[in-house]
Amino acid sequence: MSPFTGSAARTCDWEHLRVERDDGVVTVTLARPDKLNALTFGAYADLRDLLAELSRDRSARALVLAGEGRGFCSGGDVDEIIGATLSMDTAQLLDFNRMTGQVVRAVRECPFPVVAAVHGVAAGAGAVLALAADFRVADPTSRFAFLFTRVGLSGGDMGAAYLLPRVIGLGHATRLLMLGEPVRAPEAERIGLISELSDEGHADEAAQALARRLADGPALAYAQTKALLTAELDMPLAAAVELDAATQALLMNGEDYAEFHAAFTEKRPPKWQGR
């Protein structure tokens, strides 16, 4: 996303999320622990808008998405979303479903790595949010469940039918999206749904450590790697190789590439600038 902005000021307070900033690491916490961090219309919209704002202002070099209390996120709130959608017309339903998809696109398209810190339940939309992240750090209590068919909807919600086969393969994705059965941490790690398995109770700590490592690294190189991973999912090899070549040529003109050479020559760690 382009960093050029209009007249809108930076948002100081987010009503539906807790946002903390620490030298390039932004931690976004879903903070409805009494509801297992079930998502509301406002939470979806805040996530969409926050990710867009962070992408524009370039203040984030890594983001941790976490959940407060006993679990990561139990999905859409049954009363505030599922109940409310029963009275919506088709145009309103389309607007809502497009918004949830925009959140997933924002996670995939933001120019910084996103680390999901998962413990306890990650169900429905919560499972898709974790899936959309670049890294899923989870502890042994974690269980993922793509529950959409269990409420009479398509398992391919919020881009799940696009992303999940690319992460764990078509066979596993078909089983998880059709049956909606929970996948506990050992199996999730085995099939590649988990990036890193932490000790119990330490998913947030491990996610923060990974985010700090990413934030202290070559931010522009990470941003372009993420962009290529997303863009090349649907490209033929020839187009992907050409895009790689163009990207590398641009980065080779950057300050970080020259800084690596200088640091190597001077036998010191690089001082990455993200440029």
Q: How far apart are CA 190 and CA 34, in angstroms?
A: 31
* 121: β partners: 143
User: Which residue in 65, 57, 41, 50 sits closest to 14, CA to CA?
Assistant: 50
Token match 């050992």: residue?
186
Could you tell me the mean pLDDT of each successive run of 10 residues in the chain, 275 residues long? 70 90 97 95 96 93 97 93 92 96 97 98 97 98 96 95 97 97 96 97 97 96 95 94 96 94 94 91
Greatest Cα pair distance, the chain, in angstroms, is: 67
Token match 């269980």: residue?
143
Position 111 scores a pLDDT of 96
> Going from the N-terminus, what domains does the chain have, and what CATH number goes with each?
17-216 (3.90.226.10), 219-266 (no CATH)
Under the phi-then-psi rule, with left for phi > 0, alpha for psi from -120 to 50, and beta for the rest, what region is 236?
A: beta
pTM equals 0.94
In angstroms, the Cα distances linking 127 to 54, 81, 112, 113, 236 are 23, 17, 20, 18, 29
The tens digit of pLDDT for each residue in 114-125 reads 999 999 999 999
Q: Are strands 25-30 and 18-22 parallel, antiparallel or unpaired?
A: antiparallel
Position 40 scores a pLDDT of 94
* Pair of tokens at residue 117: 């810190």
Position 180 scores a pLDDT of 95
Q: How far is CA 50 from the centre of its chain?
A: 12
The tens digit of pLDDT for each residue in 7-28 reads 677 887 889 999 999 999 999 9
Position 2 scores a pLDDT of 66
The tens digit of pLDDT for each residue in 218-250 reads 999 999 999 999 999 999 999 999 999 999 999
Type and span of the H or E element at 205: helix 203-215
